[in-house]
Amino acid sequence: MNQTLSPPTAKRGNPLRPFIWGGAALLLCVPLVAMQFTDEVNWDGFDFLVMGFLLGGACGAYELGARLSGHWAYRGGFAVAILGGFLMTWINLAVGIVGSEDNPVNGLFFAILLVGAIAAPLGRFRPMGMARAMYATAIAQGLVTAWIALAGHGYTFVLAGFFIAVWLSAAHLFRRAHEDAQIADQVS
């Protein structure tokens, strides 16, 4: 078996685990501390619950990626994809990407994430399957951006370009993991 994907029962160490979970806990504390100094930040229990759920989901998803492969590029691709999905969700829930968070057009951005979430298991979480899932997500991002532009909704192409770059960066890292695995298979 190549070094890129391990069996589901294999345990791989994750030296970043304390930093990832600790960073998530610190991030969750930022609004709590900010509320002590300014009235501009006004979170209630529901806000903390939603953010805790998002952070826990992102950290848990990265743990999955770390267990699937010990290859640096695979883990990096997983981290970039998870971070992109987290940022898109956070922005969309907090203020909305198009107009306010109440604009129904913003639901399309969750559909973009759904493309990647469906395509990844269809590719069996293998490096090339993950790369294809990220390409599909980038294409979905482009299609949603084009539809929003044609429909005349206010939307920044800079933000769209950022997210397309995120998905393509993740795809590149997954491709690198695939190529490294092919080289390792040829050598052995």
Backbone angles phi, psi at 155, to 5 degrees: -160, 135
Q: What is the pLDDT of residues 110-137, one digit of tens each?
A: 999 999 999 999 999 999 999 999 999 9
Mean per-residue pLDDT pooled into runs of 10, the chain (188 residues) = 44 78 93 92 92 94 90 95 96 88 90 96 96 98 91 80 97 96 84
User: What string of DSSP letters covers 151-174?
Assistant: TT----HHHHHHHHHHHHHHHHHH
For residues 103 and 29, give the distance between their C-alpha atoms in angstroms, rounded to a whole number. 29
Token pair in block for residue 150: 């044609």
Instruction: Map out the domains of the chain as residue ranges.
Output: 15-68, 70-188
pLDDT above 90 coverage of the chain, percent: 67
